[in-house]
Amino acid sequence: SLDLSFWYNSAFGSPVGRVQGTGYVQELVARLTQERIKEHRLSTNATLDDDPTTFPFGNSLYVDATHEVVVLNIITALNLTTLAATGPLPYDHIPENRSFKVSELAPFATNMQFQCMNTSSFISSTGLT
């Protein structure tokens, strides 16, 4: 099964899956906090990420592209363990009720979107706290 292959090669069962997604997570955090990455020790590119022209802040939309496998690395690096709630996949059978299904998590031409929403104007206009 592809689930078995991706679980142990790219996702929660991989010894390197989390590390391979950490660079993307570092860039995501940099964009959300609008602070440069302080230490490039993993899969980030200091030449691009330290340059305001190639890695700008303050825009309302950013688009980054990657491969399906890297999406699984990112999910693992973000520690989205709900997607692995039923635990490691066994080698001898495919559990029918498994939570990790690569066809649902990273299908062909998949995309992952992160949104940062500001609710301060909504709260002030409605009086909610």
Q: How far apart are CA 38 and CA 50, in angstroms?
A: 9
pLDDT along the chain (129 residues), means of 10: 92 95 94 93 91 92 84 94 93 92 90 80 64
Contacting residues for 71 by C-beta, under 8 A, at least 6 apart:
105, 106, 110, 112
Query: Which three-class secondary structure state does DSSP give residue 30?
Result: helix
Q: Where are the domains of the chain?
A: 2-126
Is the pTM value of this prediction over 0.85? no
pLDDT of residue 51: 96
pLDDT of residue 15: 96
Q: How far apart are CA 83 and CA 102, in angstroms?
A: 10
The answer to whether the CB of 3 falls within 8 A of the CB of 88 is no
